[in-house]
């Protein structure tokens, strides 16, 4: 189907450790968006990736789009407690189809 | 701007009851969406609208209805509520297609059907 698969489903890290979540599709993605949802909150847009091999950075967050446009990743360097939440990728077909998310817990 | 406003925040329904979840946005966005989120899961698209008078089905439309009589409002109607509809419902809007515009989400409505 049109689903995107995210791994891992959960990740617990010590504050200061790095974190990566992966988003994989069996079909080529036209573009992909990433959102963050804090516990009890609503999803908030982080970034959109469009070009093959694209890499974008937002402070400690690095987003990559695979060369084949079938996968994407979000890497957080030196996690902080404010990074806690669920990170979703969403394939963009003119409407967004979300992955199941990766929930990040950070131990202070 | 208030952004995307959803009411109510919480609601408990009995099986078979009906209700309307309200969603309004003041950003003059053309596109509006309804998603549901089950515990520990991603968001599933129920219905969406590309403009007033136009609606279309998403991934999980069964048991729901929508209307879009104005640009600002996009209510979601549940007829004959079932326990499977217990979920958190998010309304969202975007200026243009999601190809060009990010989605702005409301704070959600937590619905329990017992």
Around B74, how many Cα atoms within 13 Å sit in the side-chain half-sphere? 34
Chain B residues in contact with A33 by the CB 8 A cut-off are: 98, 102-103
Domain count, chain A: 1
Confidence category of residue A65, pLDDT binned at 50, 70, 90:
very high
What does the pLDDT average to over A76-84?
98
In the numeric block, the tokens 């007033």 are attached to B52
CA distance A16 to chain B (A): 25
What does the pLDDT average to over B31-35?
97
The single-letter DSSP state of residue A77 is S
CA-CA distance, A98 to A96, in Å (whole number)?
6
The pLDDT mean for chain B works out to 95
Beta bridge mates, A13: A106
CA-CA distance, A3 to A25, in Å (whole number)?
7
Chain B residues in contact with A103 by the CB 8 A cut-off are: 40
At residue B98, the pLDDT reads 83
Nearest to B42 among A30, A42, A100 (CB): A100
CA angle B60, B51, A92 (to 5 degrees): 50
Confidence category of residue A2, pLDDT binned at 50, 70, 90:
low
Instruction: Give the mutation candidate from B93, B98, B110 for the A interface (greatest A CB count, under 10 A).
Output: B98
Tell me: pLDDT of B96 over 60: yes
At residue A1, the pLDDT reads 52
Q: Is A88 in contact with B98 (Cβ distance < 8 A)? A: no
Tell me: pLDDT of B100 over 90: no
| Domains of chain B and any CATH numbers | 4-113 (2.60.40.10)
At residue B1, the pLDDT reads 77
In Å, what is the CA distance from A101 to each residue of B32, B42, B75?
22, 6, 27
In the numeric block, the tokens 């689903």 are attached to A3
The single-letter DSSP state of residue A81 is G
At residue A83, the pLDDT reads 98
- CATH at residue A48: 2.60.40.10
Burial class, B94, CB count within 10 angstroms (exposed 0-12 / middle 13-18 / buried 19+) = buried
Other C-beta atoms lying within 10 Å of the C-beta of residue A91: 22
Confidence category of residue A3, pLDDT binned at 50, 70, 90:
confident
Per-residue pLDDT tens over the stretch B38-60: 987 889 999 999 999 999 999 99
Nearest to A33 among B48, B97, B102 (CB): B102
- In the 3-class helix/strand/coil scheme, how is B17-80 assigned residue by residue? CCEEEEEEECCCCCEEEEEEECCCCCEEEEEEEEECCEEEECCCCCCEEECCCCCCECCEEECC
Range of the domain at A94: 5-107
Among residues B74, B97, B91, the alpha carbon closest in space to that of B37 is found at B91
Among residues B70, B76, B89, the alpha carbon closest in space to that of B22 is found at B76
């Amino acid at each position: 189907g049109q689903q995107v698969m995210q791994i891992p489903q959960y990740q617990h890290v010590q504050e200061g450790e790095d974190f990566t979540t992966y988003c994989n599709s069996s079909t080529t993605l036209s573009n992909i968006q990433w959102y963050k949802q804090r516990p009890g909150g609503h999803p908030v847009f982080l970034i959109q990736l469009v070009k093959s091999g694209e890499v974008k950075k937002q402070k400690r967050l690095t987003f990559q789009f695979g060369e084949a446009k079938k996968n994407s990743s979000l890497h957080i360097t030196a996690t902080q407690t404010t990074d806690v939440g669920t990170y979703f990728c969403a394939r963009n077909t003119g409407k967004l189809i979300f992955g199941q998310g990766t929930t990040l817990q950070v131990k202070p | 701007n208030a952004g995307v406003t959803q009411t109510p925040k919480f609601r408990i329904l009995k099986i078979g009851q009906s209700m309307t979840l309200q969603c309004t946005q003041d950003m003059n966005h053309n596109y509006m969406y309804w998603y549901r989120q089950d515990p520990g899961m991603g968001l599933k698209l129920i219905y969406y609208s590309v403009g007033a008078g136009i609606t279309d089905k998403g991934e999980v439309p069964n048991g729901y209805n929508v209307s879009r009589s104005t640009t600002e409002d996009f209510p979601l109607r549940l007829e004959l509520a079932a326990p499977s509809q217990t979920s958190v419902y998010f309304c969202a809007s975007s200026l243009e297609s999601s190809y060009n515009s990010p989605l702005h989400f409301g704070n959600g409505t937590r619905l329990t059907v017992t």
